[in-house]
Chains A and B, each alone.
Chain A
């Protein structure tokens, strides 16, 4: 309900555009209507009845990567993307969501089914152990777009002598972030409840997708759903066993790109850097890094709604390594790998898991 965010909407509506410069979507589009202040002002006007939402008016809510840069900048800590995701739900409820997101839930479930089958084809069946205490959940973009990284992750666990991690046996490979971001809240709640039941069968679950770690840890509870298992990102887990990884430095230099959900939203900055440092002589920092890191453009379903904008954001992010003549960018999120990789042309963009695997002795 937008009413829950009355104060946040009003603050932004009256703000003299103070955070406009940090918004990746606003910067790529150059349209006034997609800077954070305007998107929130639209929500404010929709809430107070000044505008009645049409597909066009509501479209601005979907021009958000959920990157959190505006919130980081704002002295009032306004959670703009959370409010905009709520506004998306309002749009869905009125049937005025963008065309590309119509029937999104059906497509989500169909993709899920496909990915469940694909996952079983990717790794040997012995990795699926019902009684396991600790499970690994690769997540949709990893299975779909970086399928080799699933086995590579398992190889890294084995190389460090960790033999107790199984792959999470489930008919759901996703924590539901895409449904939340698309504004399909009742479907999201359903997936959250189902997934919480499955997750709670384990003591610890290691996820490859930062957005789903965030969703399970912080969004589920807002929907009244709690998970008893400890949910960690794969980089956090690998960091705890890194001393046992038989790797050597094989890469001269690589930039580390902070995924928004892993960095700003979960506060995980150092573990992936430490891991990259094990195998890279020089881990280079973007001028905007950690809390200030720029987005890759892949979050918040922007690639579904505005693919060219998502690419433009990625291209802008890659300008720095391009200019420095460094050909490798490492990150810790399959969505970032996908979106940066598409824009990368001559740039090698890879997940930390891939980088470590390449350097196994």
Chain B
């Protein structure tokens, strides 16, 4: 660091105003953690705290903050809702850390109800954005389960996916342009038109960059009109491969489900009374169309050997997902060790990857549940959750957790899939991602060096590169 802590505090105060800078221990300690169960959610105090937190109110203030960081050679970590599950809030080296909390940048800047595009500041929470749109008969075409806990900037920075991804695409399809403050203190805007062929698109470089290249301060997103009709489809299958094949056909048939998921037999049993893999879809729109689409999809379920189940099982499964998260809290508070990870694979490999991961986790003695979802035309995600068997030596817990995680990531690799589908990389998976990307990762590190020669921004992604 160049200068003293007091110098930095003074400069930050000039950049954003004294009431928007804090070094209070009670503040900084909560910015050293996020929702990564492995370390940050743990109620023990993480060892390293940032020194400052700032709350800028606009892109220009973010730029000024980054200039201060550059002048003093600090490490900078952006922070949205801190809802990421992968350890995005950590820091790699010994430099004093400055956290930039984006949540004061929480305004909707523009809504174009004709083109159905909204522009909002990056610190707006999904819940606030959704509420703003709902009263106008619209909603944001991105609906992660963590909608109310996460921010627009966080979605973009992690390349996230949501419940309606099967219909509207992941955040990289929903986003149409961004404004970002770069490490040199300049501000860049990428949106020139809804669709463009104006060379490589800088926006896509920032999507998934997890704070390593700069700070996203605003974005344009597609919005959707709320539809009048929603119908559900539930189908039961003996084999996961049958359910996956049926879903692949549904996704390519043009029936365009909004919610699309495949639930594990243990979960399905609770809702349908049948211990089978349960395919769940919702079809939404106006008039007859959703019913026609549902009927078309139902034929595909039957064609793949599935049984038609009561649609209430599908809607019940969907609403109960919230309770699963509350259930995990009990498990964690009771010191049961659970872990979860999202990986991606194409249709051809999805069932195989799932069976592979399940088999190996079960042979470790883990209880396993899986959900397949977030589908696109080419494949989808596998959300794999496990509970470790009781471990007598607490020292072993970390090792066994690593082992379980490695099994699932290896299954993804063996099936040619991605070791992270939508929750980002964080500390949890930086080594695995680096290994998977190989020399492509070095290319990314080169880009980072160009944009961020002093290495100010969230350094973990390129640590050791």
In the complex, A38→B31 CA distance in Å? Answer: 10
Return the chain B residue nearest A54 by Cβ.
B25
In the complex, A48→B24 CA distance in Å? Answer: 22
Chain B residues with Cβ below 8 Å from A42 are 26
A33 contacts chain B at the CB level, 8 A cutoff: yes
- How many residues in B have their beta carbons less than 8 Å from beta carbons of A? 41
Scan residues 250-305 of chain A and give those whose CB is less than 8 A from a CB of chain B: 287
A338 contacts chain B at the CB level, 8 A cutoff: no
Chain A residues with Cβ below 8 Å from B82 are 17, 32
In the complex, A38→B25 CA distance in Å? Answer: 13
How far apart are B204's CB and chain A's nearest CB, in angstroms? 28
Residue among B45, B55, B101, B333 making CB contact with A51, cutoff 8 Å: B45
Known: A30-B104, A45-B43. A18 touches B325 (CB 8 A): yes
In the complex, A18→B325 CA distance in Å? Answer: 9
Give the most central of B85, B104, B148: most A CB within 10 Å: B148
In the complex, A45→B41 CA distance in Å? Answer: 12
How far apart are B150's CB and chain A's nearest CB, in angstroms? 9
A44 contacts chain B at the CB level, 8 A cutoff: yes
B146 contacts chain A at the CB level, 8 A cutoff: yes
Scan residues 6-28 of chain A and give those whose CB is less than 8 A from a CB of chain B: 7, 10-11, 13-18, 20-21
Contact B43 A32 (CB under 8 A): no
B242 contacts chain A at the CB level, 8 A cutoff: no
Known: A16-B149, A50-B43, A54-B25. A21 touches B127 (CB 8 A): yes
Return the chain B residue nearest A73 by Cβ.
B148
Stretch from A56-64, A108-116, A171-179, A204-212 contacting the other chain: A56-64
Chain B residues with Cβ below 8 Å from A7 are 333
Contact B135 A14 (CB under 8 A): no
Residue among B26, B104, B326 making CB contact with A18, cutoff 8 Å: B326
Known: A48-B43, A50-B45. A56 touches B326 (CB 8 A): no
A76 contacts chain B at the CB level, 8 A cutoff: yes
Interface size on A, as a range, is: 20 to 34
Chain A residues with Cβ below 8 Å from B329 are 11, 14-16, 76
Tally of A-B residue pairs with Cβ under 8 A?
Answer: 91
A125 contacts chain B at the CB level, 8 A cutoff: no
Return the chain A residue nearest B24 by Cβ.
A56
Contact A30 B55 (CB under 8 A): yes
Chain A residues with Cβ below 8 Å from B26 are 33, 42, 56-57, 59-60
Return the chain B residue nearest A35 by Cβ.
B30
Known: A32-B30, A59-B26. A76 touches B81 (CB 8 A): no
Contact B146 A30 (CB under 8 A): no
Contact A32 B25 (CB under 8 A): no
Contact A13 B325 (CB under 8 A): no
A75 contacts chain B at the CB level, 8 A cutoff: yes
Chain B residues with Cβ below 8 Å from A75 are 322-323, 326
Query: Can you give 7 contacting A-B residue pairs, CB < 8 Å?
Result: A11-B333, A14-B333, A16-B329, A31-B101, A33-B26, A56-B26, A74-B326
With A30-B101, A44-B43 known, 18 other A-B pairs at CB within 8 A are A13-B333, A14-B329, A15-B329, A16-B35, A16-B41, A16-B83, A21-B128, A21-B148, A21-B149, A30-B103, A30-B104, A31-B30, A32-B31, A41-B43, A56-B24, A59-B26, A60-B26, A287-B135
The 5 A-B residue pairs with the shortest CB-CB distance in the complex, in nearest-first order: A21-B148, A13-B43, A75-B326, A14-B332, A32-B30
